A and B are shown apart, each in its own frame.
Chain A
């Protein structure tokens, strides 16, 4: 099976702009989670989508949003970019049943990330 893919791999934006990142999960995986990774804050959970619905959300402002399509592909959008949004954004997918809670023994498979630089 192909792994998790993320596009683009690198992105440079200026303050105030908005950006959309894309993630294609492993075939058959219906859960997609997004993380922000920075040297100072480490890996921080943004949100998880399952069956086109946001199931869980981390502690990020409303400028960070996402969605999931019927084919399980997911997009993450950041509006009104700030310098502090510069980070590696990682997407992860995993198998998950409809009745299963978000906390799960099924491991997450990560994509290579999108490196966002805000100038």
Chain B
């Protein structure tokens, strides 16, 4: 079965600082990986996805993530945090086989301090 862990339920960074949100997955086959963001009282919005093409994936709002098979990781980064980045971030894994639906991680709440 697939699973996702996100280290740190809450991460705080200063405005302009590097954002690093960690995601590790467990999957018996090469997975598809996604990062979603959720703003208060809203649904989830896709930031980026990995589907076995380039290992470094660029997304919206300046975010990017790198797929590292050896570490089973898909960490999300942004060089310089902005106040508007404050939200909850979810990593998700999916797989190519029947029965492998989306599995979401527990989420990481990002706070950006002025």
A interface list, Cβ under 8 A from B: 4, 33, 35, 42-43, 45, 48, 56, 58, 90, 92, 101-105, 107-113, 115
Is B90 a contact partner of A56 (Cβ separation < 8 A)? Answer: no
Q: Report yes or no: A56 in contact with B107, Cβ–Cβ below 8 A.
A: no
- Stretch of B15-23, B41-49, B64-72, B74-82 at the chain-chain interface: B41-49
Residues of B within 8 A of A101 (CB): 96-100
Shortest CB–CB separation between residue B7 and chain A, in angstroms? 15
Contact status of A111 and B43, CB under 8 A, knowing A42-B107, A104-B32, A105-B49:
yes
CB of A64 to closest CB in B, whole Å: 15
B residues within 8 A CB of A33?
101-102
Looking at the complex, which one of A35, A58, A104 makes contact with B94 (CB distance below 8 Å)? Answer: A104
The interface residues of chain B lying within 8 Å CB-to-CB of A111 are: 43
Q: B104's contact among A43, A48, A104, A107, by CB below 8 Å, is which?
A: A43
Jot down 19 A-B pairs with beta carbons below 8 A, ordered by A. A4-B43, A33-B101, A42-B106, A42-B107, A43-B90, A43-B104, A56-B99, A56-B101, A58-B101, A101-B99, A103-B95, A103-B96, A103-B97, A105-B49, A105-B94, A107-B49, A108-B46, A110-B43, A113-B41
Q: How many chain-B residues does the 8 Å CB contact rule pick out?
A: 26
B103 at the interface (CB under 8 A from A): yes
Question: Is the CB–CB distance between B43 and A103 below 8 Å?
Answer: no
Do A90 and B94 contact each other (CB < 8 Å), given the known contacts A105-B49, A107-B34, A108-B102? no
CB-CB under 8 A from A35, the residues of chain B are 104
B14 within 8 A of A: no
List the A side residues contacting B34 at CB < 8 Å.
107
Chain B nearest CB, measured from A87 CB (Å): 14
> Closest residue of chain A to B43, judged by CB?
A110
Residues from chain B with Cβ under 8 Å of A42 in the complex: 104-107
B99 and A103 contacting across the interface, CB-CB below 8 Å: yes
B100 near A90: Cβ-Cβ < 8 Å? no
Which residues in chain B, 28-74, are within 8 Å of chain A measured between CB atoms? 32, 34, 36, 41-46, 49, 51
